[in-house]
Chains A and B, each alone.
Chain A
Amino acid sequence: MLARQILIDGFAIRALYALGAVGFTLIFGVSGVLNLAHGGIMVIAALIGWFTAGEFGAGPYGGALVGILAGLASAYATYLLVVRPIQRSRAIPKEESEIFVLTGTLLWGIMIQTALAYKFTDNPVTMRPILPGVVTLGGVRTPRNEIMIAVVCWLVIGLVWLLVNRTRTGKTLLAASMNPRGLTLLGFELSRVHLVVWSIYGVLAGLAGVLLASFLGTGSGNAGQLTASAFSIVVVGGLGSVSGSLLAAYLVGYLETLTAYLIAPTLRPIPALILLVLVVYIRPQGLLGRR
Chain B
Amino acid sequence: MCSRKTAFRSTCVAGILLTTIACLNACSGSTTKDPIRIGVIGEESSVAGASLTKAAMMAAEEINAKGGVNGRSIQVITYDNHSSAAEGVRAFQRAVSDDKAVVVLGSYLSEVVLAIEPWAARMRVPFITPGASSNDIPKRVHDDYEHNKYTFQATTMSEFVAQSVCDFSHDVLVKQFHLKNAVVMSEDAAWTKPLDARYLDCLPKAGLEVMDHIRFNPDTTDFTPIFNQIERKHPDVIITGISHVGVQPTVQWHDQQVPIPMAGQSSQATNGTFWKDTNGAADGVITRNTAVPGVALTPKTIAFVEDYTKRYGLPPAYCGYSSYDMVYVVAEAIKRAGSTDPDKLVEALEQTDYIGTSGREQFYGRDDPFTHTLKYGPGLITGVHLQWQNGKQVAIWPADVANGKIAFPSFIKLSAK
- Chain A: residues with CB nearer than 8 A to chain B? 5-6, 9, 13, 54, 114, 117-118, 121-129, 132, 134, 141-143, 145-146, 215-220, 222, 225, 257, 260-261, 265-269
**CB<8 Å pairs between A and B, sample of 23:** A54-B276, A54-B279, A117-B45, A121-B45, A121-B47, A122-B45, A123-B247, A124-B247, A127-B279, A128-B279, A143-B255, A146-B255, A216-B248, A217-B251, A220-B45, A257-B222, A260-B225, A265-B216, A265-B226, A266-B215, A268-B216, A268-B217, A268-B220
Indicate whether A125 sits within 8 Å of B247 (C-beta atoms), given known contacts A145-B255, A266-B216.
yes
Shortest distance between the CB of B80 and any CB in chain A (Å): 10
Indicate whether A219 sits within 8 Å of B247 (C-beta atoms), given known contacts A122-B45, A123-B277.
yes
Give the number of A-B contacts (CB < 8 Å): 98
Contacts of A127 in B (CB 8 A): 279
Sample of 18 more A-B contacts, CB < 8 Å, known A126-B251, A129-B255: A54-B279, A118-B45, A121-B46, A123-B273, A124-B247, A124-B248, A125-B277, A126-B247, A126-B248, A127-B279, A143-B256, A216-B221, A218-B221, A260-B222, A265-B215, A265-B217, A268-B217, A269-B219
Q: Are the CB atoms of B257 and A134 closer together than 8 Å?
A: yes
Query: Which 10 A-B residue pairings sit nearest by Cβ, starting from the closest?
Result: A117-B45, A265-B216, A260-B225, A217-B248, A126-B251, A124-B247, A9-B224, A128-B279, A143-B255, A122-B45
Chain A proximity mask over B274-309: 1 for CB below 8 Å, otherwise 0: 001111010000000000000000000000000000
Shortest distance between the CB of A264 and any CB in chain B (Å): 8
Shortest distance between the CB of A107 and any CB in chain B (Å): 16
Q: Considering the complex, which residues of chain B in the window 22-62 have a beta carbon less than 8 Å from any beta carbon of chain A?
A: 44-47, 50
Chain A proximity mask over B241-269: 1 for CB below 8 Å, otherwise 0: 00000111001100111000000000010
In Å, the complex CA distance between A141 and B252 comes to 12
Contacts of A54 in B (CB 8 A): 276, 279
Shortest distance between the CB of B42 and any CB in chain A (Å): 12
In Å, the complex CA distance between A114 and B84 comes to 13
Whether, in the assembled complex, B197 has its beta carbon less than 8 Å from a beta carbon of chain A, the answer is no
Whether, in the assembled complex, B214 has its beta carbon less than 8 Å from a beta carbon of chain A, the answer is yes
Whether, in the assembled complex, B271 has its beta carbon less than 8 Å from a beta carbon of chain A, the answer is yes
In Å, the complex CA distance between A36 and B122 comes to 41
Chain A residue, CB-CB nearest to B221: A216
Number of interface residues of B (CB under 8 A): 36
In Å, the complex CA distance between A13 and B214 comes to 22
Q: Which of A118, A126, A220 makes the CB contact (< 8 A) with B281?
A: A126
Chain B residue, CB-CB nearest to A132: B255
Whether, in the assembled complex, B339 has its beta carbon less than 8 Å from a beta carbon of chain A, the answer is no
Q: Are the CB atoms of B44 and A118 closer together than 8 Å?
A: yes
In Å, the complex CA distance between A114 and B83 comes to 12
Contacts of B278 in A (CB 8 A): 126, 217
Whether, in the assembled complex, B20 has its beta carbon less than 8 Å from a beta carbon of chain A, the answer is no
Indicate whether A261 sits within 8 Å of B247 (C-beta atoms), given known contacts A121-B50, A123-B268, A141-B257.
no
Q: Are the CB atoms of A261 and B225 closer together than 8 Å?
A: yes
Contacts of A269 in B (CB 8 A): 217, 219
In Å, the complex CA distance between A13 and B224 comes to 10
Shortest distance between the CB of B350 and any CB in chain A (Å): 35
Shortest distance between the CB of B318 and any CB in chain A (Å): 14
Chain A residue, CB-CB nearest to B188: A266
Whether, in the assembled complex, B229 has its beta carbon less than 8 Å from a beta carbon of chain A, the answer is yes
Contacts of B45 in A (CB 8 A): 114, 117-118, 121-122, 220
Whether, in the assembled complex, B415 has its beta carbon less than 8 Å from a beta carbon of chain A, the answer is no
Contacts of A132 in B (CB 8 A): 255
Q: Are the CB atoms of A217 and B247 closer together than 8 Å?
A: yes
In Å, the complex CA distance between A17 and B279 comes to 23
Chain B residue, CB-CB nearest to A125: B277
In Å, the complex CA distance between A229 and B67 comes to 56
In Å, the complex CA distance between A128 and B50 comes to 26
Contacts of B215 in A (CB 8 A): 265-266
In Å, the complex CA distance between A267 and B238 comes to 21
Shortest distance between the CB of B260 and any CB in chain A (Å): 13
Shortest distance between the CB of A159 and any CB in chain B (Å): 26
Whether, in the assembled complex, B228 has its beta carbon less than 8 Å from a beta carbon of chain A, the answer is yes
Q: Are the CB atoms of B214 and A265 closer together than 8 Å?
A: yes
Q: Are the CB atoms of B47 and A257 closer together than 8 Å?
A: no
In Å, the complex CA distance between A103 and B256 comes to 40
Contacts of B217 in A (CB 8 A): 265-269
Q: Are the CB atoms of B277 and A124 closer together than 8 Å?
A: yes
Shortest distance between the CB of B384 and any CB in chain A (Å): 22
Shortest distance between the CB of B407 and any CB in chain A (Å): 20
Shortest distance between the CB of B149 and any CB in chain A (Å): 34
Contacts of A9 in B (CB 8 A): 224-225, 228
In Å, the complex CA distance between A103 and B214 comes to 39
Contacts of B225 in A (CB 8 A): 6, 9, 257, 260-261, 265
Q: Which of B46, B219, B276 makes the CB contact (< 8 A) with A225?
A: B219
Q: Are the CB atoms of A222 and B221 closer together than 8 Å?
A: yes
Shortest distance between the CB of B26 and any CB in chain A (Å): 41
In Å, the complex CA distance between A225 and B221 comes to 10
Contacts of B268 in A (CB 8 A): 123
In Å, the complex CA distance between A241 and B257 comes to 38
In Å, the complex CA distance between A33 and B134 comes to 44
In Å, the complex CA distance between A266 and B245 comes to 14
In Å, the complex CA distance between A225 and B218 comes to 12
In Å, the complex CA distance between A215 and B226 comes to 16
Contacts of B248 in A (CB 8 A): 124, 126, 216-217
Q: Considering the complex, which residues of chain B in the window 200-237 have a beta carbon less than 8 Å from any beta carbon of chain A?
A: 214-217, 219-222, 224-226, 228-229
In Å, the complex CA distance between A210 and B46 comes to 22
Shortest distance between the CB of A17 and any CB in chain B (Å): 10
Contacts of B247 in A (CB 8 A): 123-126, 217, 219
Chain B residue, CB-CB nearest to A224: B219
Shortest distance between the CB of A217 and any CB in chain B (Å): 4
In Å, the complex CA distance between A118 and B46 comes to 8
Q: Are the CB atoms of B222 and A216 closer together than 8 Å?
A: yes
Shortest distance between the CB of B383 and any CB in chain A (Å): 22
Contacts of A261 in B (CB 8 A): 225, 228-229
Shortest distance between the CB of A121 and any CB in chain B (Å): 5
Contacts of A216 in B (CB 8 A): 221-222, 248, 251-252
In Å, the complex CA distance between A127 and B281 comes to 10
Chain A residue, CB-CB nearest to B228: A5
